[in-house]
Amino acid sequence: MLQAVKALVLRTIKHTDSTVVLKTYTETFGVRSYLVRMPKGSRRAGRTALLQPLNRLELVVDERADRELHQLRELRLHRPYLRIPGDVLRTAQLLFLQELLVRTLREEAGDPGLWSFLQQALELLDTADEVRDLPLRFLLGYADALGFAPAPPEGAEPYFDLVEGRFTTELPLHTQAITPPLTALFAAWLPGPLYAPAPGTMLPGQRRELLDALLRYVRLHVPGAPELHSPDVLHRTLG
């Protein structure tokens, strides 16, 4: 059955000389893979440009319940990015978000809340004047959208248990935890929407520490999630 869907490009994988497998996250069906025919000659470059990481597309697809790889009939760019192309900081963040989603996003059904969150995050990345703290806000919101949001502190607990997702008065035996002095900074970020400013000035290295801790938190709560490679580039870009 032919259906029109909105989708985010997660990645492409070469299938044959004339086709690629397009892995997407769609508004309607969640994670979906489509077989895309690549034209020859000058038209090939145009289609390749459409399939760049996290591009926002409109697709017409042939959905069959008995298939894992569905046929793509039409595609076009739904909303082009304006400030991300040519901006080193925004591009590094886009590639970080892409790798995170490729390695951790498993939903095979539509999720309006998650779709809306991802759309808002990408729009902010493309249009907001200040985006340096967006990766931290994104990880917190992403955990919330997937159902394992960190519980805010009840008092001044000195540790945050990354396995249990809550603040504690004692260091857990498994030692997978955020510890002082980073705990107080982490608590100050909770809760907060994507567009909220940083709660205070961070000391050198604290943004990196907090980002790495939140990545560990996400990986602990997504079974089988591998380590990411893009954070090293992102850290160098953020400074």
Where do the domains of the chain lie? Answer: 2-77, 88-238
d(C-alpha 171, C-alpha 183), whole Å: 12
Average pLDDT, the chain: 93
Q: Which CATH architecture group holds 88-238?
A: Up-down Bundle (1.20)
Strand partners, 70: 34
Domain topology for 2-77 = OB fold (Dihydrolipoamide Acetyltransferase, E2P) (2.40.50)
pTM given for the model: 0.94
pLDDT at 17: 86
Q: Please, where are the H alpha helices in 105-202? A: 112-127, 134-146, 182-188
d(C-alpha 72, C-alpha 15), whole Å: 14
Q: What is the mean pLDDT of residues 113-123?
A: 97
Query: Identity (one letter) of the amino acid at 65?
Result: A
Q: Are 62 and 73 in contact (CB under 8 A)?
A: yes
Q: Is the pLDDT of residue 39 over 90?
A: no
d(C-alpha 96, C-alpha 212), whole Å: 12
Q: Are 196 and 137 in contact (CB under 8 A)?
A: yes
Q: What percent of the chain has pLDDT over 70?
A: 100
